[in-house]
Amino acid sequence: MPLGLLMSIIIAILAVMIAAKLGPPNPPAPQVTTTSPPVTGLSEDEKKAALSVVFQHPLLAKILSGNNWSLVEAGSWTQNGELVGAALLIRLNEPVWVEGSFSDFDGKSYRAALWIGSLHVLVDLRGRKVEAISPGMTIPPQYSEPLLPGLEKARQVVANRVPTAQSIVFNGVFYTDKYPTGLAFFYVKDMKGEYFIAVNLATMSVEDKYTAPVIKR
């Protein structure tokens, strides 16, 4: 089954998503619907094998060992009708601050420091290795801002964009080839609704491509 279809089905069940045309650096995932058949599930032994590989990965083991989580979806990754591995959606019971290197299911890599509520993980069962880790950014449980360069200026950029904002909360920052200085995301709430607003930390300008209202499910 194509990886794109697997990712679409898995992303569709996220609790908090963004209605926007998004690309790298893989900020909050877009809402996706599909009429395709559901992803073929894994057997219990295959799930256990996939999770054992997950816990051998240093970053994933650190995140999951210290927090409560649940396996929401486990789909099969196949090529030419043969099982290659597993596509997993893991949901954390509480948001967690994470810093590390990630990659999406298409192989695009980036660094990020962000609050996450879920993890999309692609596991190669034949090679017993993690092929991709894509974090699902979420709203922090309470305001606790890390000390990162440029955040105060970026917050002012957001405040200027939404002068009626009741609250502006930092969610995370992504570092990619296009945004080596960082693309920061803020959760903004005002009388009209809730939004994620992205700020390019190099130019201190809003990136409209990654800015959209929050959709809760």
The tens digit of pLDDT for each residue in 93-133 reads: 999 999 999 988 887 889 999 999 999 999 999 999 999 99
Question: Which pLDDT value is given to residue 36?
Answer: 30
Are 75 and 86 contacting, i.e. CB atoms less than 8 angstroms apart?
yes
Do you find a cis peptide bond into 27, omega within 30 degrees of 0?
Answer: no
Are 139 and 210 contacting, i.e. CB atoms less than 8 angstroms apart?
no
Compute the residue count for the chain.
217
Name residues whose C-beta falls within 8 Å of residue 171's C-beta, 6 or more positions apart in sequence.
114, 115, 137, 138, 139, 140, 185, 186, 187, 196
pLDDT above 70 as % of the chain: 77
User: Mean per-residue pLDDT for 22-51?
Assistant: 55
Question: Which pLDDT value is given to residue 34?
Answer: 27
In our burial notation (b when 16+ CB lie closer than 10 A, e otherwise), range 13-34 reads: ebebbbebebebbbbbbbeeee
pLDDT tens-place string over residues 44-95: 999 999 999 999 999 999 999 988 999 999 999 888 888 899 999 999 999 9
Question: Which pLDDT value is given to residue 26?
Answer: 44
More confident residue, 121 or 5: 121
Of 19-33, 34-48, 105-119, the one with minimum mean pLDDT is 19-33
Say if residue 186's pLDDT is above 50. yes
Question: Which pLDDT value is given to residue 3?
Answer: 42
CA–CA distances in Å: residue 103 to residues 10, 109, 113? 16, 4, 13
* Euclidean distance between CA atoms 8 and 159, whole angstroms: 33
Nearest to 179 by CA among 201, 157, 197, 146: 201
Mean confidence (pLDDT) of the chain: 79
pTM of the model: 0.76
More confident residue, 193 or 184: 184
User: Mean per-residue pLDDT for 35-46?
Assistant: 62
Question: Which pLDDT value is given to residue 215?
Answer: 61
pLDDT tens-place string over residues 139-149: 887 666 666 77
Question: Which pLDDT value is given to residue 185?
Answer: 93
Question: Which pLDDT value is given to residue 172?
Answer: 92
